[in-house]
Structure 1
Amino acid sequence: MKIHFIGIGGIGMSALAGIAVKSGYIVSGSDIEDSYNIKHLRNLGVKIYIGHKRSNLDPKTDLIIITSSISKDNPEVLKARQLKIAMKDRGEYLGKLMKNKRSVAVAGTHGKTTISSMISVILDKAGMDPTVAVGGLIKEFGNQNWIKGKSDLIVVEACEYKSSFLKLKPSIAVISNIEKEHLDYFKNIDKIIDAFKNFLKLVPQNGFAVVNADDINIQKILTNTQFDFPIITYGMSESLAEWRIENVKEEKGQVSFDVFKNKQIIDNFIIRVPGKHNTMNALASIIVTSKLGVNLKTIKETLLEFTGAKRRMELKGEKNGIIVIDDYGHHPTEIKVTLEAIKNFYTNRKRLWCIFQPHQYSRTRLFFNDFINSFDLADKLIINDIYEVRDTKKDIQAVNSKKLVEKIQEKKEIDTLYIESFKETAKYLSKNAENGDIILTIGAGPVYQVGELFLNENCKK
């Protein structure tokens, strides 16, 4: 079977392409630019074209896989229709992979990459040989976000955008939290809650769900909907959840916490990724993997060794006593939580520089006031130009980074600058950051390049 992926370089598509190769299919694909994921697929023998052209598509192709970002007038899509080649979107194809398997699907506005990565690494360490397709590169998998296992277990990250996760077939569902996001599609929080409720309804009677009982929007689903499968709840110490976390301590580069089930202590766990929110992510992974039969010793050891998925509070390096951290956070809540986690984790550091690249004009416009109040824990803030994705002319005309900077400056609480380019940002940091400072680059676009430029620059202060 010959499969062609249009938009093959995306984090989700590249995982499916890699799994397809290891499943014995002939794989090709195209994307607008080269990337780390594409280079890895080329090393597996995948023929990849840079740029979208009709000539990229072999008429003998059996199946086309597309992403939600591919337009209807894409030349390869038009040719596929002309040739009447079968076409599926990424969600449909992922759902097909999950059919008739013990499938774990991790959803939520925040945390789903970390939870799905933790679950995947624990199952792999336990010798359960899962297939994995998640949204972040994992060191334990050779800095890839996928593996093709031989067992009937599959772990996937379930994306809610355009309700894509409703095409999946989970036997085990995890929901970390529900918040306003992707408002260019959902319009309001009620639509988002309905989508997550329908996602839960996909779980069969012999499956189960693991959900965060502390989340008010998840509570609404549990209060108003009856399900015919077990729902396991988790939360922090003040919650009424079945599984709970207590006694969280952040010190010496690690976070320790006690896990209780029905008010009986299970054990103490230690993780080396910053933040109380990551103890919740770890708890979700503990519940799922223990239910799947992994022993507690293996879970504890694996979580202790887990250093996080790439671009999730990733320590990039150190230069002149200044450490550089990168994070994928692009939602106001994610920014707040990340800043808090870094402040609490690195208590012996001086100033925290936050370099933010807004992701999408539409998201920046819709969450404008929230972004203004997201950076209060930063000592210095630099905002780069907005990364454009799926934006309308109305969105682009309505907002820009300069306007956001001006509003934050009006608060007179944070030293805030607008710097257009990554290169100029790195130069500014080289001249102004001092020994003992932290530089955090944050955003879903390529803002990580600022940290890399800073670490590699030879500029003298």
Structure 2
Amino acid sequence: MFAKGFKIHFIGLGGIGMSALAGHLMSKGCVVSGSDLCDSQILQNFKKQGVEVFLDQKKTNIRDDIDLVIITLAIEENNPELISAKLKKIKILTYPQALGEFTKEFYLISICGSHGKSTSTAMLSKVLIDANLDPNVLIGTKLQEFANTNYRIGESDYFVMESCEYKEAFLYYSPSAILVTNIDPDHLDYYGNTENYYKAYEKFVGKLKGGGILVINGDSNKISAFAGMTERTFGENEKNDYVLKGGEIYLHGELIGKLNLKVPGRHNRINACGVFAIADALKIDRKVILNALNNFEGTWRRLEYKGKISSGAIVYDDYGHHPTEIKASLEAMRELYPLNNLICVFQPHQFSRTRFFWDEFARSFSYADQVIIPNIYKVRDEKSDFPEISAENLVKEISKYHKNVVYGNGFENTAKILKEKTSGNDVIVIMGAGDVERIGKIIFLKGNHALYL
């Protein structure tokens, strides 16, 4: 299907996964075009490579000679490009369908889980690269080692891929090895309840090829073992095969490695333990594994250091958008800055997720000294669907458990608070999966002595 000269149009080309797949297909000689509703650095990079990019979505973008249209799971049925492709009887695949088709001939290593997918995928990619295994990679973030992109073209059969569970997308993949970082209910707007969420993981593990490798976080294991698989567990509980104690990794009671990571946080040490376990199952030299993990520099928007603003406050950017992720990231920041005043600027992602985890969000900020909620990011739902859910009401709920929480009243006002009321003892973490990183760009505007990286 993906032969040289094959013409493929992406509806939603700017998406982190879509753009990575497009890069891989271009490396195979496919002719790519695409559209999105707003410009981005990702789209600018495609333009520099000669890709035709439309910053709108209209039916005339779908030309008669297009062989395949690939759409994101967010595209709605009334999208004019999708309608046009159907009328022209052009083959249409969703992103996970296309990705499953493209990767089925590789030795696919799928990294799945509720949290830590991107970091674990990046860590494992570095391990395989350092072991001279030359992997192909597709990841939901950007890496400096990949020229600040979200994919890598390798010459081997190994394909390391972040595998998302949203709308059961990962069920289109055919993995030879699976790493389950953890299982913590999410995307309940789609799954409806936690039982359906767990069942999706069971179905995915069931797709593992015969004789495949299965590595699971045993501390949150909610799926069954399957016969014929090499199942290994990892975590902090003594019952696991690979046990993390502080920074030390034990296998059945024997010390086999010591972590000294550059990235902070207990959650990252657990991520690294899982990566060690699957790399060990792949029979990579343990010294190579440890050296790669201990020299891992981190990824885009995962507790990413951005610089200092004019007040002297230090700024980090983070993708955390689930209560568990908030706690883990703030715990890591407290570990890194035990004596500083820690300010968390958090933008909830979706009104539905905010409603589902209302109480959990309210209790997630114990490691922060101050919390600011600028707004709620609207995606896949409408505020009118959840009239009781608002940033102001969430502030009231958080204030039941935290003495210093305020409503930021939008990005400009939140940035004004940060610029005028912070000092050199403050550490600011700007957190969320929406467009909250724009606040960072505002506070680093003229008059400050560092640029937002």
| Alignment TM class, shorter chain as reference | over 0.9
Among 365, 379, 390, the residue aligned to 2:355:
365
Q: Secondary structure at the match of 1:103?
A: strand
Residue 42 of structure 2 is matched in structure 1 by 37
Match of 1:322 among 301, 313, 329: 313
Q: Distance in 2 between matches of 1:393 and 1:453?
A: 26
Tell me which residue corresponds to 1:338: 329
C-alpha distance in 2, partners of 1:337/1:382?
Answer: 18
For the 8 Å contact 1:329–1:444, the answer to whether it is kept is: yes
SS in 2 for 1:173: strand
Instruction: State the number of aligned residues.
Output: 443
TM-score, normalised on structure 2?
Answer: 0.95
Task: Answer whether contact 2:348 2:375 (CA < 8 A) is retained.
Answer: yes
Q: Which AA in structure 2 matches 1:456?
A: L
Q: Which amino acid aligns with 1:147?
A: R
Distance 1:288 1:409 in 2: 42
Equivalent in the alignment of 1:245: 244
Shift in Å, 1:229: 1.1
Give the C-alpha shift of residue 131 in structure 1. Answer: 1.1
Native 8 Å contact 1:242 1:262 kept in 2: yes
**Most deviating of 330-339 and 387-396:** 387-396
Does structure 2 conserve the Cα–Cα contact (< 8 Å) formed by 1:381 and 1:414?
no
Indicate the larger mover: 297-306 or 82-91. 297-306
Q: Per-residue deviation at 1:392?
A: 4.0
CA distance in 1, matches of 2:448, 2:118: 36
Identity %: 38
Does 336-345 or 190-199 show the bigger shift?
A: 336-345
Aligned match of 2:202: 197
Measure, in 1, the Cα distance between the counterparts of 2:179 and 2:218. 12
Structure 2 residue ranges without an equivalent (≥5): 1-5
**Structure 2 counterpart of 1:439, from 428, 436, 449:** 428
Taking a change above 3 Å as real, the CA distance of residues 424 and 203 of structure 1, as seen in their structure-2 partners, is same
Change (3 A) 1:295 1:226: closer
Q: Residue 423 of structure 1: which of 399, 412, 418 is its match?
A: 412
Alpha-carbon separation, structure 2, partners of 1:389 and 1:357: 12
SS of 2:81's partner is helix
Q: How does 1:278-357 map to 2 (within 5 A)?
A: 278-319=268-309, 320-347=311-338, 349-357=339-347
Determine whether 1:451 maps to 2:445.
no
Q: How does 1:372-451 map to 2 (within 5 A)?
A: 372-392=362-382, 394-411=384-401, 413-451=402-440
TM-score normalised by L of structure 1: 0.93
Maintained 8 Å contact 2:35/2:54: yes
Describe the SS at the equivalent of 1:76. helix
- 2:113–2:181: 8 Å Cα contact kept in structure 1? yes
In the TM superposition, what is the alpha-carbon distance from 1:410 to its structure 2 partner? Answer: 4.1
How far apart, in 2, do the equivalents of 1:331 and 1:170 lie? 27
- The Cα RMSD (Å) is 1.6
Of 293-302 and 311-320, the range deviating more from structure 2: 293-302
Judge conservation of contact 2:113–2:182 (CA < 8 Å) in 1: yes
- Tell me, which stretches of 5 or more residues in structure 1 are unaligned? 249-256
Report the equivalent of 2:234: 234
1:38 and 1:121 map into 2 onto residues whose CA distance is 26
Q: Which amino acid aligns with 2:216?
A: V
1:251 corresponds in structure 2 to none
Amino acid at match of 2:422: A
Return the match for 1:18 from 16, 20, 23: 23
For residues 394-444 of structure 1, the C-alpha deviation after alignment (integer angstroms, 9 at most, x for no partner) is 534231101111222344x33111122222211211111111210000000
